[in-house]
Amino acid sequence: MTNRLKMAKTHAIIGLLEQGWSYRRIARELGVNRGTVARYDRLRRNRSKPAISPPGSGQSEGSKPAIPAPGSDQSEGAKPAISAPGSDLSRSPKPAIPTAGSLLGDLVFPALGHPPGKCSQCEPFREPIGKKLDQGLSAQRIWQDLVSESGFTGAYSSVKRFVRKLGANMPLPFRRMECEPGQEAQVDFGSGAWVFLDAKRRRPHILRITLSHSRKSYSEPIWRQTTENFIRSLENAFRAFGGVPKTLVIDNLKAAVKNADWFDPDLNPKVVEFARHYGTVILPTKPYTPRHKGKVEGGVKYVKNNALKGRTFCSLAEEKQFLIEWERDVADTRIHGTTRKQVRRVFEEVERPALKPLPPEPFPFYHEGRRTVHQDGHVEIAKSYYSVPPEYLGREVWVRWDSRLVRVFNFRFEQIAVHPKVEPGRFNTSRSHLADQKISAVERGAEYMLSKAFCIGAEAGLWAKAMLDERGIEGVRVLQGFLHLTKNYPARTINQASRTAHEAGMFRLRSLRELIKRNSAQREFEFAESHPIIRPLSEYQELMIVSFKPADDERSEE
């Protein structure tokens, strides 16, 4: 019995035969016998006739097919049957296009040199199209040149699709960005050498800052990537350089960037203040794009592979000192592979004079955080308490403090309070932060209370002044009680009692209260001789006479 090939290999043989391949080439590529290929070629040429069209298809039963079967002989002069309008029999069938993943596609297209699918009409012109793309010509111009120069008969859309595919497979080269002296420094972190402490080992981070023009660098090991360590390391680098670059290109580390965004990054406020103090600008790179700071990326690898690889240290200070000496003796004396110049010479002669000068004082490092204003109008910082304006009671504020000052900001970063630092457990309260209703008369002082006493009356003010002269500091509280009398007695009564007490030399508040009560009781029994609403007694007398006149007198009058 004849062995039958699998369907996929059968289709592959037929497809290659239709492409014009020879028996020998097909047999070699597919691993079959040439006789097998010839047999399938005969079957392809003498394939069976198509089925008779069913009723209603536009072709009568028993009639000849509209198109003869491929490879079948048709007598000369025989006219094919007319196919029904809209039927597919009026067109010659086309072979299926092999797809990627099929056996035919995997065997045919690698040999033909183009990807699976229908072969583009532009494939024979791949090389001239590629050259024209390198010249920057558009797809429209390429199509016009192919038609006029090479006799291309395809459509413009075919050239446009082909150019789009070529462009996707031809990535553009990266553009190198060189900087002017003093223009830019790039910052990045790497892993340091092991440090052995008390029979335990720990690996620090290495912060490396590289000046982009001269490649002069500074490296410092730190235990943690905190904002404070980041700022202090940058400050040490500026001192080592003897100046400040105009911009700092940093990674999106959490110590400096709160929210990474290529277009509008949200920087840590402390880092922003540091940059403002030194007159530089922080520019984070695009997230997940290390090539934006490629100069320092290579510098970090240089430190790890040249300076620290295979070394261990007993302390962080020892590793830091080693890196300072290595930068001076090795990194600065090398001929850089890109600039082909000695790093130290370029830095000393070109870049150092272009750096911005250092500020007179180092950056005053501070701590900051969010605080809620307590019910007493204070916020707690480092176990001490500082007042804020009363309108922020119960609200959150932003606090920034250092070893000398405490500054309080609202969330628009407007300063609302500033205090000198006090010892833990102490309160620092500004007088302007107290509500008027919460400032007692004693706190306002004796002069304020005396002015209030004179507002009651001249006699009351003279008694209060004489009482303070007589009793001294203990009279302040007496004066406070004297002012409270206005809540229960009228000013006239207080003035009269004050005059009597002043003339008698009585400066006790208790005695003054007795005088006021006595005068008030006497006034309760005093009758007014005249009043606008009281009629004279003669009118009441006439009214009584008229009211009680006898009835006989009234009749006689009638």
92-128 pLDDT, tens digit per residue, is 455 555 554 554 555 555 544 555 556 788 888 888 8
Comparing C-alpha atoms, which of 249, 243, 275 is closest to residue 347?
243
For residue 208, the surrounding DSSP H or E stretch is strand 205-211
Q: What is the rounded CA–CA span in Å between residue 411 and residue 12?
A: 73
Kindly report which listed range (305-314, 358-367, 370-379) carries the lowest average pLDDT score.
358-367
* Burial of 520 per CB tally in 10 Å (0-12, 13-18, 19+): middle
For domain 184-354, give the CATH number: 3.30.420.10
What is d(CA 186, CA 285) in angstroms, rounded to the nearest whole number? 10
194-197/312-313 β-pairing: parallel
DSSP assignments along 317-334, one per residue: HHHHHHHHHHIIIIITTS
Taking residues 6-10, report their average pLDDT: 78
The domain limits of the chain are 120-168, 184-354, 367-438, 443-525
Q: Mean pLDDT across the chain, nearest whole number?
A: 80
- Say which DSSP state 353 is in: G
The whole-angstrom separation of Cα 388 and Cα 429 is 8
Contact call for residues 274 and 234 (beta carbons, < 8 A) = yes
Average pLDDT of span 73-102: 46
Grade residue 91 by pLDDT with cuts at 50, 70 and 90: very low
- pLDDT (mean) for 451-472: 85
Across the range 137-166, mean pLDDT stands at 88
**Degrees to nearest 5, angle at CA 65 with 61 and 67:** 165
CA dihedral 538, 543, 546, 548 (to 10 degrees): -110
Q: Do the beta carbons of residue 199 and residue 229 sit within 8 Å?
A: no
Q: Which of 161-170, 262-271, 306-315 is the most confident on average? A: 306-315
CATH level 2 (architecture), domain 367-438: Beta Barrel (2.40)
pTM of the entire structure?
Answer: 0.47
What's the first-to-final CA gap in the chain, in angstroms? 167
Specify the higher pLDDT residue, 205 or 514.
Answer: 205
Buried b (16+ CB within 10 A) or exposed e, 114-147: eebeeebebeebeebbeebbeeebebeebbebbe
Q: Give the DSSP H or E segment for 271.
A: helix 269-278
